[in-house]
């Protein structure tokens, strides 16, 4: 295979390619990712011929030498390349794609452990620095780079965000795996409106079709909960983690039309504490994992994007999350001297301003609010029939800077109570299969959903949800 590569390349007309081949035939190069090269300072890679590929993050020509920084997305750090001035080339510009071969050496500079002494530099993809929207040495703000969703992954800050997002995703899956949850792939296309809020995107083929494609109206899912509940009739712990869609006509900093939700459902539970324990444990375990495994990436946010936020995150992890009832929350709001834009009387939904106030009031740590008015919650929430005020066994987790991060509840497992509720709401036909779950081996159960983008906002301190998802979708915007 190696010979095949050389042969193919030897026919290439491009002079830099033939130079590369001559060199390649002479010495054998190990291809390394930048993160591997950087962490080679004490290993056997030093003094070895290597090849790296990536994009130029800086270019510094000097009289005798040229200094480059090459980054391939494997780490925030770039690899410094030192080459003789004869290897300089006008196409070596900020943003261009290169392949560099040379010898990996210990760096004389304290700021980097190693550098690559280049003997071949190939420009694989040119980048015109005048047209390229990001400029060398400039720290562009999140709002600026948001204008270029197809290019912003080339910036340090957004590539850090994407690595953190990837690591947090793995950490959440690990949490559930370690705690014996079974992952369920719930459908994206569904015929039900789980939340009953009418915020649905309808799904139909783009070409003309007689009637509905699926014979019934279908939608992009607003939540995998009902499908998880079906599975919770056979598995005591299930979860799903996937895209979720809401046709909310909102331009807010915490709403998207497409976002990722982590949802869990647990059978044989009659207590909200069983749910809050999973929410809190998952939050802690994912956050500790991200802080330990993405040290430089998180640090970039906490130093340059949201200075001071690290203390908030450490504060969140130090204490147990307090639990208050909705009625206590209303008392706190009504006793405060704060001027709220929205009413906070018993029976009113808590708005973001209320949620943020409650978090501050509780010491700027995540806080659970339980037992909301029954009428504020969807049809599936369990009726707290023994409470003096008509409440549902529902719980939200409110977090610093964001407000609501998780929403969950015990589910109404009693057939007669659920049937009456569905009739009251005119939903009995739509959800007849859901009643079957209560007819055949129904058990007390409950679950919750966590908004993954809001979670990232919370741990990184990012103000706008559009800055923590690769390609944000919101009303009047679906770029790419
Ligand atoms: O509170 P929600 O609507 O709960 C449910 O959908 C339940 N069926 C979940 C369950 O019990 N399995 O949504 C859960 C979380 C919210 O707390 C919020 O963090 C996030 O999903 N979320 C959004 N995130 C971004 N953009 C939106 N438009 C969001 N709507 C909800």
pLDDT for residue 41? 67
Q: Are residues 162 and 254 in the same domain?
A: yes
- Evaluate whether residue 147 is within a structural domain: no
pTM beyond 0.85: the answer is yes
pLDDT for residue 417? 96
pLDDT for residue 69? 96
**Joined tokens for residue 384:** 């707290």
- Evaluate whether residue 10 is within a structural domain: no
Q: How far from 345 is each of 330, 332, 342, 369, CA to CA, in Å?
A: 7, 11, 9, 15
- Residues 47-65 pLDDT 10s: 889 999 999 999 999 989 9
**Joined tokens for residue 81:** 């390349």
| Angle ∠(381,382,386) on CA atoms, nearest 5 | 140
- Evaluate whether residue 232 is within a structural domain: yes
Q: Are residues 93 and 160 in the same domain?
A: no
Among candidates 349, 398, 399, which has minimal Cα distance to 373?
Answer: 349
Q: From the CA of 397, give the closest atom in ligand 1.
A: 17
Confidence bin at 12 (pLDDT 50/70/90): very low
- Evaluate whether residue 137 is within a structural domain: no
DSSP three-state, residue 274: helix
Distance of CA 35 to the CA centre of its chain: 22
- Evaluate whether residue 280 is within a structural domain: yes
DSSP three-state, residue 148: coil
Domain hosting 68: range is 32-125
Alpha-helical (H) ranges within 115-183 are: 142-145, 156-178
Mean pLDDT of 268-278: 96
Element (H, E) at 264: strand 258-267
Q: Are residues 175 and 242 in the same domain?
A: yes
Q: Are residues 120 and 157 in the same domain?
A: no
pLDDT at 9 over 60: no
Mean pLDDT of 137-163: 95
pLDDT at 230 over 80: yes
Q: Are residues 174 and 50 in the same domain?
A: no
pLDDT at 3 over 50: no
pLDDT for residue 13? 37
Region of poorest pLDDT, from 27-31, 120-124, 318-322, 419-423: 27-31
Q: From the CA of 197, give the closest atom in ligand 1.
A: 3
- Evaluate whether residue 231 is within a structural domain: yes
Task: From 125, 144, 175, give the residue that closes a domain.
Answer: 125
- Evaluate whether residue 144 is within a structural domain: no
pLDDT at 283 over 80: yes
Among candidates 54, 44, 30, 36, which has minimal Cα distance to 121?
Answer: 54
DSSP 459: H
Q: Are residues 366 and 441 in the same domain?
A: yes
Q: Is the CB of 349 under 6 A from ligand 1?
A: no
Q: Are residues 114 and 242 in the same domain?
A: no
**Distance from Cα 92 to the centre of ligand 1, integer Å:** 46
Q: Are residues 99 and 223 in the same domain?
A: no
pLDDT at 44 over 80: no
Q: Is the CB of 400 under 6 A from ligand 1?
A: no
Region of poorest pLDDT, from 134-138, 362-366, 464-468, 471-475: 134-138
Q: Are residues 162 and 44 in the same domain?
A: no
pLDDT for residue 14? 43
Q: Are residues 289 and 333 in the same domain?
A: yes
CATH code, domain carrying 454: 3.30.930.10
Q: Are residues 110 and 250 in the same domain?
A: no
**Joined tokens for residue 33:** 């990712």
- For the chain, the domain total comes to 2
Name the residue with the closest Cα to ligand 1, atom 28.
255
Q: Are residues 349 and 228 in the same domain?
A: yes
- Evaluate whether residue 1 is within a structural domain: no
């Amino acid at each position: 295979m190696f010979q095949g590569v050389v042969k193919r390349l030897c026919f290439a007309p491009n002079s830099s390619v033939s130079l590369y081949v001559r060199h390649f035939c002479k010495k054998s190069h190990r291809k390394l990712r930048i993160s591997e090269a950087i962490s080679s300072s004490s290993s056997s890679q030093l003094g070895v011929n290597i090849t790296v590929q990536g994009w130029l993050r800086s270019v510094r020509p000097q009289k005798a030498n040229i200094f480059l920084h090459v980054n391939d997305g494997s780490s925030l750090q770039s690899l410094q390349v030192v080459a003789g001035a004869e290897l300089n080339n006008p196409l070596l510009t900020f943003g261009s794609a290169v392949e560099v071969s040379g010898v990996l050496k210990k760096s004389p500079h304290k700021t980097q452990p190693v550098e690559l002494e280049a003997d071949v530099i190939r420009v694989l993809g040119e980048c015109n620095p005048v047209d390229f929207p990001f400029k060398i040495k400039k720290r562009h703000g999140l709002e600026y780079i948001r204008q270029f969703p197809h290019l912003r992954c080339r910036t340090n800050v957004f590539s850090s965000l994407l690595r953190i997002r990837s690591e947090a995703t793995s950490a959440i899956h690990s949490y559930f795996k370690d705690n014996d949850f079974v992952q369920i792939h719930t459908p994206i296309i569904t015929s039900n409106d789980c939340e009953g809020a009418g915020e649905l995107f309808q799904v139909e083929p783009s070409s003309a079709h007689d009637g509905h494609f699926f014979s019934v109206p279908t939608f992009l899912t607003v939540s995998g909960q009902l499908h998880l509940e079906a599975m919770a009739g056979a598995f005591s712990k299930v979860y799903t983690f996937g895209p979720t869609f809401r046709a909310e006509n909102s331009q807010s900093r915490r709403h998207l039309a497409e976002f990722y939700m982590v949802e869990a459902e647990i059978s044989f539970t009659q207590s909200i504490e069983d749910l809050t324990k999973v929410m809190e444990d998952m939050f802690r375990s994912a956050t500790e994992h991200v802080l330990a495994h993405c040290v430089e990436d998180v640090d970039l946010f906490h130093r340059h994007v949201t200075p001071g936020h690290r203390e908030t995150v450490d504060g969140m992890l130090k204490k147990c999350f307090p639990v208050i009832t909705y009625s206590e929350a209303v008392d706190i709001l009504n006793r405060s001297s704060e001027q709220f834009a929205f009413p906070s009387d018993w029976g009113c939904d808590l708005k973001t301003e209320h949620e943020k106030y409650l978090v501050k009031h509780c010491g700027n740590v995540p806080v659970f609010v339980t037992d909301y008015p029954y009428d504020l919650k969807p049809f599936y929430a369990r009726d707290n029939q023994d409470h003096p005020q008509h409440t549902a066994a529902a719980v939200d987790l409110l977090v610093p800077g964001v407000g609501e991060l998780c929403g969950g509840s015990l589910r109404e497992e009693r057939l007669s109570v659920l049937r009456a509720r569905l009739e009251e709401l005119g939903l009995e036909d739509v959800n007849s299969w859901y009643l079957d779950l209560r007819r055949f081996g129904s058990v007390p159960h409950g679950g919750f959903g966590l908004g993954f983008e809001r979670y990232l906002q919370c741990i990184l301190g990012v103000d706008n949800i559009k800055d923590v998802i690769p390609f944000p979708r919101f009303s009047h915007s679906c770029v790419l």
